Amino acid sequence: MFDERSRYFSIETAEYTTVDGRKITYKRRRFLPQGDRLPLLMQVTVTRNDRLDLITAQTLGDPERFWVVCDANNTMNPAELLTEPVQTLRVPVPQP
């Protein structure tokens, strides 16, 4: 259902049966982890003009794992991470 790099890949898949017998497959809810509890790889100072995909490509080797940096900084919305003129982002140790 999801690529192995997706934040939803490891989430349990469930099934709902409607009253007319149709089966609907879905992913259970994903809860945001406590960012300060994730093992820290590094901190990166960024400016408003930086791009999260480029930061994750440089630090984690994969631009599509931006969500890992979101998790480490306690946000679900990537746009919230680059709103200040200069700020420091937590980049966690990549998990398998």
**CA 22-23-26 angle, 5° bins:** 140
Q: Name the nearest CA neighbour of 55 among 4, 95, 5, 89.
A: 89
Q: What is the pLDDT of residues 23-49, one digit of tens each?
A: 999 999 888 889 999 999 999 999 988
Model confidence band, residue 14 (pLDDT cutoffs 50, 70, 90): very high
pTM: 0.75
- Does the structure show a pLDDT above 70 at 96? no
Per the CB < 8 A criterion, the answer to whether 55 and 69 are in contact is yes
Q: Which residues of 49-65 are buried (b: 16+ CB within 10 A; e: fewer)?
A: ebebeebbeebbeeeeb
Per the CB < 8 A criterion, the answer to whether 60 and 68 are in contact is yes
Domain extent listing, the chain = 34-92
